[in-house]
Amino acid sequence: MKPPAEQRSNRSGTAAIVGRANVGKSTLLNTALRERLAIVTPTPQTTRDRILGVLRHGDAQIALLDTPGLHRPRSRLGRRMNTMARDAAREADVLVFVTAIPKNVSSDLAPAGRDVEILQQVDPESRAILVINKIDLLGKNRSLLLPLIEQFSKLRSFSAIVPISALRDDGVNLLLDEIASLLPERGPAYEEDFLTDRPVRFFASEYVREQVILATKQEIPHHVAVTIERFEEGVHVTHIDATVRCAREGQRKIIIGKGGERLKGIGVAARQRIESLVGRQVHLSLWVTIDQGWPESAHALDSLGYVSVSGDDEAVS
């Protein structure tokens, strides 16, 4: 169904948020949407799927695509994640390339080696915006941005360069202005109140995985996946059963914790996160199982929804 004529935007299209891991792509999506939709943790490769978030900005409808961080994969899962990100970049109307100021700021800021490699892989003719995130780390030394911008400008042509702090919502509105100006002139592709194409059960699994990562930190995040076994919306309560998959018995013990306390904490935090999304009471039950080798199993990845369109064995340097 097409939106009514009076709701139609002058511009609309997709903008793929692409970059290496841990530069704040998911935080940018959430800030732009004014909705804590995508999961965010300090751990690299937290995002494993393309996450669509649709918003209206002025006379434009912008479909933002958060993507997995491009990295050097060590598993079939990693290769599929990279393929998802590259597919999104290739198909989008606008490429939003995100880099970030490092934690240890020095006076000789330069593009990260991985940034250079990724920019060499994307279409040089694409409409691209350079986003320099985490500028809050510069404090009052924002003049350090000038030589960094100059060096990036030598790598390729950008339609705009926008320094931001996604975490502090600094510069995000200006970025949306720039994205909107580059979108094709056409009516909206989505209804006025449309937010995402992912079902609630997808976010339920993501919010459980988010809490597992936060609770276990660097110990096991890349070896964990979550499957929703039951999702039933009752009259007053939504009942969700979820299984946390890990690769080894030692990881299972870490997730469960002494006397089951860690798993209980994960469940409470995930339930609260899901309730904030669905706006109703949720009863969440969690189990932990061992599934050795799932990141390399095509069947397991397909069943978990980590499916790439253009293949999953393509290597990335």
In tens, the pLDDT along 78-126 reads 899 999 999 999 999 999 999 999 998 888 899 999 999 999 989 999 9
- Tell me what the pLDDT averaged over the chain comes to: 91
Report how many helices (DSSP H) and strands (DSSP E) the chain contains, helices first: 9, 9
Taken in order of first residue, the domains within the chain and their CATH numbers are 5-182 (3.40.50.300), 200-304 (3.30.300.20)
Q: Which positions ≥6 away from 234 have C-beta within 8 Å? A: none
Cβ burial, residue 114 (10 Å; 0-12/13-18/19+): middle
pLDDT score of 317: 38
Whether the pLDDT of residue 315 is over 60: the answer is no
In tens, the pLDDT along 227-257 reads 999 999 999 999 999 999 998 899 999 999 9
More confident residue, 223 or 259: 259
Whether the pLDDT of residue 32 is over 50: the answer is yes
Q: Which positions ≥6 away from 225 have C-beta within 8 Å? A: 209, 244, 245, 291, 294, 300, 304
Whether the pLDDT of residue 157 is over 50: the answer is yes
